[in-house]
């Protein structure tokens, strides 16, 4: 970084720090913790004030993760049904809802054990 750019960057930081409100300063050094409830099998993020927190990026990550689990389950269902003779049987070989349920249960158990 050139010296001129460095000085303008430092000035910008100094100016930004001066314009932060007192209310915003109270949120800068917040520390979030998490609680694990063994009975309910829940993990909860709590801020300094004891308020439950749900980060928007967590929701986005969960949606993307559910999509990945669905793709994994679909892959193995299709792989299993590839050589299946549907003319001989009246019912489906694989219960798709049960496969997805098992995937989500296993992931929940993994995340809970990891915490």
Specify which of 18-22, 89-93, 110-114 reaches the highest per-range mean pLDDT: 110-114
* C-beta of residue 103 within 8 angstroms of C-beta of residue 73: yes
- In angstroms, rounded to a whole number, what is the distance separating the alpha carbons of residues 82 and 107? 26
Looking at residue 7, what is its pLDDT? Answer: 47
Q: Which domain holds residue 26?
A: 3-114
Q: Is the pLDDT of residue 109 over 80?
A: yes
- In angstroms, rounded to a whole number, what is the distance separating the alpha carbons of residues 48 and 52? 10
Domain count, the chain: 1
Looking at residue 6, what is its pLDDT? Answer: 44
Reported as a single tens digit per residue, the pLDDT across 71-87 is 999 998 888 877 777 77
Q: CB-based contacts of 111: which residues, under 8 Å, 6+ apart?
A: 43
Mean pLDDT (the chain) is 77
Whole-model pTM: value is 0.57
């Amino acid at each position: 970084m050139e010296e001129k750019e460095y000085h303008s960057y430092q000035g910008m930081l100094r100016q930004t720090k001066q314009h932060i409100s007192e209310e915003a300063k109270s949120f800068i050094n917040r520390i979030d913790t998490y609680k694990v409830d063994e009975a309910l099998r829940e993990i909860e993020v709590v801020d300094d004030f004891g308020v439950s927190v749900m980060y928007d990026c967590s929701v986005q990550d969960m949606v993307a993760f559910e999509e990945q689990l669905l793709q994994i389950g679909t892959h193995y269902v299709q792989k299993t049904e590839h050589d299946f003779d549907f003319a001989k049987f009246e019912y489906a070989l694989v219960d798709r809802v049960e496969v997805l349920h098992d995937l989500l249960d296993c992931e929940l158990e993994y995340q809970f054990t990891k915490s």
